[in-house]
Structure 1
């Protein structure tokens, strides 16, 4: 199959656990791009720390960010598609996190906001430093200049498991998804990586069967099942592997490189 659009998750898929891009992955992506494949990073990250990765690989085009809530043109940094949330509808979740001491952040397309940014713990500060983000103080909803597109809660595994169980009992107007063991995200009910990828492919005139996607976590399932070929990393939970058509090596073993060699570069 000639894959024209290749969607890659970032953390846990494209990057090693140390958040670095390997030469093997980078070179295979360049080789596939030289054969005409168009790449899109499809990630829970925002554009601010996703676009530099595309530029590092010498790629143009688009990035699908915030778990599908925002799609951005790399060259112009224009938001071409997004799913705005009802920000004030998030207040019960904000109140819950504050009451229970759970860290959270509020995301617009290009902005990241937290409570009392100058009082974050060393652990939380380190999380943002690892992915090159600088949070700002959360203002009143009416003072935000861009629409809110994602709300994320952050904590240890037990805390996030309990939080997910609790919030699943709420009659929520939002789409809730785990984007990692330590993250629980809320977005517009129609937002997902799969929906954003579907809309981008349609805008590019690319049929579903010519789309290949790779990911490793629950927030990747919608894009793995939309794509003509969905590939899970070996470091994926079993439910993610079950949703995929294929399983490649882990992110630390350059699974992206091996999958591209098998399904794109090595195909005559």
Structure 2
């Protein structure tokens, strides 16, 4: 089978646990691109901290970001599609977070906002550093006129488990997903990596059987099941592996490169 599009999650998939893109994985993706496969990074990150990896590899095209809420062009940084959040529904969520000591951020396509960027705890500051993100101060809610892409809560696993259980009972007008052990994301109910990938593929005349997707977490399941070949990393939860066609090596063992060599470069 010839795969025309390779959809790749970033953290826990493309990058190792040190948040590095290894040389062999980079060379493998460049080689696959030269053979005609389009590389599309599909991340919970925003475009601003996803596009640099495409630039690093010398690749153009598109990135699907904010878990599918925003699709942007690499070279022009133009937002070609966006699922915007209903802002009114976020007010009780923000109140809950502030009253219960849950850190959160508000994301536009290219901006990330927090209550007090200058007073962030070391753990939170390090998290943003690892994700190449620079938090800005959240303005007055009435002044937030730019479309919102994603709301993210961040904290220890036990806290996020508790928050997820509680919010699940609220009948929220959002799509809620875990994009990592420490993150809960709220988005437009139609937003997902799978939906955005389908929209992009349709615009290019690419059918699911011509798509390979590789991911490692619950927010990747929609794209893994949409693609003709869905591959989970060995570091994935069992539910993600069960939703995939097969499992490759872990992100620390360059599983992305191994899968691409097996299904694309060796063909």
What band does the TM-score fall into relative to the shorter chain? over 0.9
Distance 2:104 2:15 in 1: 24
Question: What is the 5 A alignment of 1:150-161?
Answer: 150-161=150-161
Conserved 8 A contact 1:7-1:213: yes
Cα distance, 1:116 vs structure 2: 1.1
- SS of residue paired to 1:87: coil
Distance 1:64 1:149 in 2: 12
Q: Partner of 2:166 in structure 1? A: 166
Q: Partner of 2:21 in structure 1? A: 21
Q: Partner of 1:94 in structure 2? A: 94
Question: What is the 5 A alignment of 1:110-125?
Answer: 110-125=110-125
Cα distance, 1:140 vs structure 2: 2.2
| Alignment size in residue pairs | 267
- SS of residue paired to 1:184: strand
Distance 1:146 1:251 in 2: 35
Q: Partner of 2:220 in structure 1? A: 220
Q: Which moved more, 1:75-84 or 1:143-152?
A: 143-152
Distance 2:72 2:146 in 1: 14
Cα distance, 1:133 vs structure 2: 1.2
Cα offsets for 1:208-252 (capped at 9, x unmatched): 110110000000000000000000000000000000001000000
Distance 2:186 2:140 in 1: 19
Cα distance, 1:176 vs structure 2: 0.1
- SS of residue paired to 1:11: helix
Structure 2: gaps spanning 5 or more residues: none
Q: Partner of 1:42 in structure 2? A: 42
Structure 1: gaps spanning 5 or more residues: none
Distance 1:232 1:73 in 2: 26
Cα offsets for 1:171-230 (capped at 9, x unmatched): 110000000000000000000000000000001110111011000000000000000000
TM score, norm. by length of structure 2: 0.99
- SS of residue paired to 1:105: strand
Cα offsets for 1:35-82 (capped at 9, x unmatched): 100010000000111101001011100000000000001111100001
Question: What is the 5 A alignment of 1:52-67?
Answer: 52-67=52-67
Distance 2:266 2:146 in 1: 44
Cα RMSD (Å): 0.7
Q: Partner of 1:143 in structure 2? A: 143
Cα offsets for 1:120-176 (capped at 9, x unmatched): 111111110112211011112332242011000000010000111111001110000
The answer to whether residue 202 in structure 2 is matched with residue 202 in structure 1 is: yes
Distance 2:262 2:133 in 1: 35
- SS of residue paired to 2:252: helix
